[in-house]
Amino acid sequence: MRFKKLLSVLMIMLVIISLAGCGGQKSSQNQEQGQSSDTKHGGTLQDALGSDPPGLDVQQNSMLETYYMARLLFSTLVRYKGSTTELEPELLAEMPTVSSDGLTYHFKLKPDLKFSDGTPLTSKDVKFTFERMLKPETKAINQWVFEPIKGAKAMEDGKATELAGFKVINDREFEITLESPYAPFIQNLAVPCASIYPAEATQKAGEEWTLNPIGSGPYKIAEWVHDDHITLERNPYYFEKGLPYIDKINMRIIEDEATMTMEFENGNIDILAIPDSEYPRLSSDPNFKKMIVENTPLNTYFYVMNENVKYFQDIRVRKATALAIDKNKILKELLNNRGIVAKGLLGPGIPGYNENNPGFPYDPEQAKKLLAEAGYPNGFEVENWQAKNETFYKRNVAIQAMLKQVGIDMKIVQMDSASWRQSRNNGKVPIYLANWWADIPDPDNYMYNILHSSQTPLWSLNYKNPKVDELIEKARVSTDMNERIKMYQEAEKIAIYDDVSIIPLFHIKEYYIVQPYVKNVQFHPTGIGSYNYRTMWLEKK
Amino acid sequence: MISFIVRRLISMIPVLIGITLITFILINVVPGDPVVNMMGKRVDAQTIANIRHQLGLDRPLYIQYLDFLFKAVRGDLGRSFYNHQDVMKTILQRFPTTVKLSLSSMAVAIVIGITVGIVSSVKQYTFVDYSSMIIALMGISAPVFWVAIILQLIFGLKLKWFPISGYSGIQSMVLPAIALGTRFAATIARMTRSSMLEVIRQDFIRTARAKGLSERVVIYKHALKNAMIPVITIIGLQIGGLLTGSILTETVFSIPGLGRLSIEAINNRDFPVIQGTVLFTALIFVFTNLIVDISYSFLDPRIRYDGGES
């Protein structure tokens, strides 16, 4: 009898242990896979923005906060698949077909699409969105996404009221014709500023649209108390059934980085991009260390030397400056190795990234020699103008010390961002630390916007090489990706290694800290509008 | 009294016009174009020209100013360049928050400042006096943001007694009120002490004591009331300063007040919001000073504004 009792107890224990074991295995599997049948609906995500969005009309501004909110409120025709740079249809039923001449695109929308107010989303709304962006009275600033379309220029000039290259076939189908082939056109349609607006509601809202827009994204605005919080709730008409998982998002506006970090530590914020100043502390704390998630967005940090400044007109001086900066040291000491040293303008993840680029080694002796050859054996004085930013200031101070060693006396002048932007756009800044975060993962986005002579004055770079211009212009209209890559790599080699137009410094990584109950955190590849909120879920709450 | 108030109100008009004119000149002289700032990293000359035209920034400056002035007289401060919100509406939305923060911090400052000031003056040259004045000196010297972060760390993060940031009820106002009020408490304490010491040495106080009045009555009824004139002046000036100078506190504690609105507007070169907040702030200053002047006559019967002896 006693033996039987013992046997039954043992059996029960065995069952419990095996069940527990199964549970454990399942849990770890889920964590590895990210998404699983364990996904939960409901709860409120506590999130924060660094400043109040200056309006939510993505056609009228491209501030980070606006783009960030756009990912929640609106949808685009195409989007990036998870965290990859591969495009997939969002509002479209399938990827568009392109005519053999690369000029005409045929689009078909998903059936039964609706905006968050329940009104249907049709081809007419898409046409309205495109035309609104191009009309001068919209005061839009992001026309670039639709500019390759035939007739866009005429609309921008106020010479046409309709977009000639946009043809509505029926409620779900439409055709777009470009002025000339433009390879990254489909990529442009995935940028938040290409979000689709409802024609009727937008017109009705007038100037107020930017404060309370309606979209077809996973969430809609429930409340916006400026400079305090924005509450978002699920869009009941969202076209992806079952998504999003989280019912509500409470987006607090917290400007001060230290305050934001304390709120995370107190459990009042669930997810946070770690401020630079807080990274060393959080990454060395055993509790917080395991909550840190890494993201590799597409960006390049580089030094701009204004070729209108007499010293920088001499390539030897530009090269000497490049050789005088110890990029590895800055990366190690100031960035805690959060990134890699850049050897070109194009970084990893961008087609055309050339990992075989030689880079500019740290060689102060050679730098001194070059300066002497250029007629500056005792160096020279130059002003670095920079918008006030603690992180940039520290990096500039490090570079200042390095340049000083070869005789270049760089004085750092900090300005407020509005003044600095104007000076930069007027081509007046002598030397500064710049960065580019890709809008789209296409080399044209970097090469044209930074190195084409039509753009370089706006960067205070004032670099001009007709050969580089020609290669960039040819590459952007070619539809053969391999051919494009070759042209971009050649242009990059000429601009950076033959001409030393800019000094590539690094491609930085972003670090986020996430409460353990927030699951399936994925990031957008461009880093703009960071998280994929629609697939994130909360294990508790 | 009424004619004094009317005179003062009329004298406000040139002051306010002067302030708006100086602000208008400054925002147009200081580098930083609102449209360029709006455009961020992408710049296109045609787009800039178009937006400047749409916003009326391509008109001659004197027309822009007169347009602002005539509209302002009618209570229309225009719309923000960024979110197109009505500026007057935005200011009126933010103002109550800033008033609550300013009044609560002023309450903290008055209670602490006057108490410490009285105790120090009564216990002059004692340990209490020296330590109070050293603490007051530290209070004046400590930057607001530093006090704010220390309070957040101790009472928000470690002890969890109060919210670290945000604006949600009285509890969320405690730390910002202390952070903002500390410096003013120190100023008030020092002013109260010196003013009290001056009054305590006067003949009428000796008389009061000679009459056999208790020390409590002498200090609180006779000395304190007379010592309050300079203190009230300081408080009056500081209320104006508090209403407008709470930018750092509002930023650190994420409070959606007028200070944050104005600093964001300056950073973004949002001209209508800058003009609106400056005009509104100037009005607050001017009215606060008027109220302070009127309050003198209640505190000191010798002060009369209607042609009487002053």
Contact between residue A268 and residue A242 where contact means Cβ atoms under 8 Å apart: no
- Which are the contacts of A438, defined by CB distance < 8 A and separation ≥ 6? A297, A298, A299, A350, A445, A446, A526
**C-alpha–C-alpha distance, residues B129 and B192, integer Å:** 12
CA distance B16 to chain A (A): 27
Q: Which of A450, A452, A459, A457 is nearest to A421 (CA)?
A: A459
The residue in chain A having the minimum alpha-carbon distance to the alpha carbon of residue B94 is A226
**C-alpha–C-alpha distance, residues A406 and A404, integer Å:** 5
Residue A479 clears pLDDT 50, i.e. is over it: yes
Q: C-alpha dihedral over B130, B133, B135, B141, to 10 degrees?
A: -140
- Residue A406: predicted pLDDT: 96
- Residue A14: predicted pLDDT: 42
Q: Nearest by CB to B251, from A143, A144, A255: name it.
A: A255
C-alpha distances in Å from residue A10, one per residue of A6, A14, A15, B131: 6, 6, 9, 72
Using a CB-CB cut-off of 8 Å, the residues of chain A touching B259 are none
Geometric angle at alpha carbon B101, from B100 and B103, rounded to 5°: 65
Using a CB-CB cut-off of 8 Å, the residues of chain A touching B265 are none
- In 3-state terms, what secondary structure has residue A508? strand
Residue A3 clears pLDDT 70, i.e. is over it: no
pLDDT per residue of chain B (310 residues) written in tens, 0 to 9? 788 888 888 888 899 999 999 999 999 998 888 888 887 766 678 888 888 998 999 999 999 999 999 999 998 999 999 888 899 999 999 999 988 998 899 999 999 999 999 999 988 888 988 988 888 888 888 888 899 999 999 999 999 999 999 988 889 999 999 999 988 898 899 999 999 999 888 888 889 888 888 888 888 888 888 888 888 888 877 777 777 668 889 989 999 999 889 988 998 899 999 999 999 988 888 888 888 778 777 766 666 665 544 3
Question: Are B51 and A139 within 8 A, CB to CB?
Answer: yes
Q: In this predicted model, what pLDDT tens digit does every residue of A359-405 receive, in sequence order?
A: 999 999 999 999 999 999 999 999 999 998 888 999 999 999 999 99
Using a CB-CB cut-off of 8 Å, the residues of chain B touching A207 are 79, 84
Residue A277 clears pLDDT 90, i.e. is over it: no
The residue type of A69 is: M
The residue type of A392 is: F
Contact between residue B132 and residue B189 where contact means Cβ atoms under 8 Å apart: yes
Q: Nearest by CB to B156, from A262, A449, A458: name it.
A: A262
Q: Nearest by CB to A262, from B55, B157, B261: name it.
A: B157
Q: Nearest by CB to A265, from B51, B157, B269: name it.
A: B157
Question: Are B261 and A259 within 8 A, CB to CB?
Answer: no
**C-alpha–C-alpha distance, residues A74 and A83, integer Å:** 18
Interface contact A62, partner B, CB < 8 A: yes
- A 463-482 residues with CB < 8 A to B: none
pTM check: above 0.80:
yes
The residue type of B33 is: D
Interface contact B289, partner A, CB < 8 A: no
Sheet with A380-387: strands ordered across:
A339-341, A502-508, A299-305, A431-437, A380-387, A408-415
Residue A7 clears pLDDT 70, i.e. is over it: no
Q: Which of A421, A427, A64 is nearest to B33 (CA)?
A: A421
**C-alpha–C-alpha distance, residues B165 and B255, integer Å:** 8
Using a CB-CB cut-off of 8 Å, the residues of chain A touching B47 are 140-141, 143
Tell me the β-bridge partners of A175: A106, A167
Choose the mutation target among B94, B147, B254, B255 for the interface with A, i.e. most A CBs under 10 Å.
B254
Interface contact A456, partner B, CB < 8 A: no
DSSP strands (E only) in A235-322:
248-253, 271-273, 292-295, 299-305
Q: In A107-198, which ranges are continuous DSSP H helix?
A: 123-134, 152-156, 185-188
The residue in chain B having the minimum alpha-carbon distance to the alpha carbon of residue A425 is B43
C-alpha distances in Å from residue A46, one per residue of A175, A287, A533: 41, 20, 12
How does DSSP classify residue A193? G
**C-alpha–C-alpha distance, residues B207 and B213, integer Å:** 9
As a whole number of Å, the end-to-end CA separation of chain B is 13
Residue A343 clears pLDDT 70, i.e. is over it: yes
The residue in chain A having the minimum alpha-carbon distance to the alpha carbon of residue B258 is A227
Interface contact B158, partner A, CB < 8 A: no
Contact between residue B35 and residue A139 where contact means Cβ atoms under 8 Å apart: no
Q: In A442-496, which ranges are continuous DSSP H helix?
A: 443-446, 466-477, 481-492
**C-alpha–C-alpha distance, residues B220 and B218, integer Å:** 6
Tokens of A110: 């998903």
Residue A109 clears pLDDT 90, i.e. is over it: yes
C-alpha distances in Å from residue A7, one per residue of A16, A18, A165, B34: 14, 16, 81, 82
Q: How many CB pairs under 8 A join A and B?
A: 136
Question: Are A63 and B40 within 8 A, CB to CB?
Answer: yes
**C-alpha–C-alpha distance, residues A498 and A489, integer Å:** 13
Tokens of A538: 């909360």
Tokens of B31: 């580098």
- A 89-118 residues with CB < 8 A to B: none
Using a CB-CB cut-off of 8 Å, the residues of chain B touching A52 are 264
Of all residues in chain A, the percent with pLDDT exceeding 70 is 92
How does DSSP classify residue A435? E
Task: State the average pLDDT over residues A134-159.
Answer: 93
Question: Are A228 and B251 within 8 A, CB to CB?
Answer: no
**C-alpha–C-alpha distance, residues B136 and A459, integer Å:** 50
- Residue B113: predicted pLDDT: 92
- Residue bearing tokens 């076939």: A169
The residue type of B222 is: H
Contact between residue A80 and residue A87 where contact means Cβ atoms under 8 Å apart: yes
How does DSSP classify residue A531? B
Question: Are A418 and B269 within 8 A, CB to CB?
Answer: yes
CA B293 remoteness from chain centre: 17
Q: Nearest by CB to A228, from B40, B167, B251: name it.
A: B167
Contact between residue B72 and residue B228 where contact means Cβ atoms under 8 Å apart: no
CA distance A371 to chain B (A): 32
Residue A1 clears pLDDT 80, i.e. is over it: no
How does DSSP classify residue A13? H
- A 377-436 residues with CB < 8 A to B: 415-419, 421-423, 425, 436
